[in-house]
Structure 1
Amino acid sequence: MSEQQPTENGINGAQPIQPGPLVLNLQYTKDLSFEVPGAPDIFLNLQEQPRLDVQLDVNARRLQDNQPVYEVALQVRTDAKLADGRTAFIAELTYCGIFTVSMAQDMLEPVLLVECPRLLFPFARNILAEVSRDGGFPPVLLNPIDFVALWQSRRAQGVPPVANA
Structure 2
Amino acid sequence: MTDATTNSETTAGPVVSALAQYIKDFSFENPNAPRSLAPQEKSPEISIQVNVGGNQIGEEDYVVDLTLEGKATIDNEVLFAFELVYGGVFRLRNIAAEHVHPTVMIEFPRLLFPFARQIIADAVRNGGFPPLFIDPIDFSALYRQKIAELQAEQAQATVS
Where does the alignment leave 5 or more consecutive residues of structure 1 unmatched?
1-6, 160-165
Q: Is the 1:52–1:80 contact (alpha carbons within 8 Å) kept by the matching residues of 2?
A: yes
Q: What TM-score do you get using the length of structure 2 for normalisation?
A: 0.84
Count of residue pairs the alignment pairs up? 147
Where does the alignment leave 5 or more consecutive residues of structure 2 unmatched?
152-160
Say whether residues 1:16 and 2:14 are aligned partners.
no
Q: Based on CA coordinates, which of the two structures has the bigger radius of gyration?
A: 1
Return the match for 2:100 from 101, 108, 115. 108
- 3-state DSSP class of the match of 2:37? helix
Alignment correspondent of 2:154? none
Please list the CA deviations of residues 8-39 of structure 1 after superposition, one character each: whole Å capped at 9, or x if unmatched.
Answer: x338xxx7334852111111111110011212
- 3-state DSSP class of the match of 2:63? strand
Alignment correspondent of 1:59? 53
**Equivalences for residues 81-100 of structure 1 within 5 A:** 81-82=73-74, 84-100=75-91
Q: What TM-score do you get using the length of structure 1 for normalisation?
A: 0.81
- 3-state DSSP class of the match of 1:140? coil
Say whether residues 1:127 and 2:119 are aligned partners.
yes
1:45 Cα shift?
5.6
Return the match for 1:30 from 16, 24, 28. 24
Say whether residues 1:75 and 2:89 are aligned partners.
no
Q: Is the 1:49–1:138 contact (alpha carbons within 8 Å) kept by the matching residues of 2?
A: no
Alpha-carbon distance between aligned partners in 1 of 2:86 and 2:19, rounded to the nearest angstrom: 14
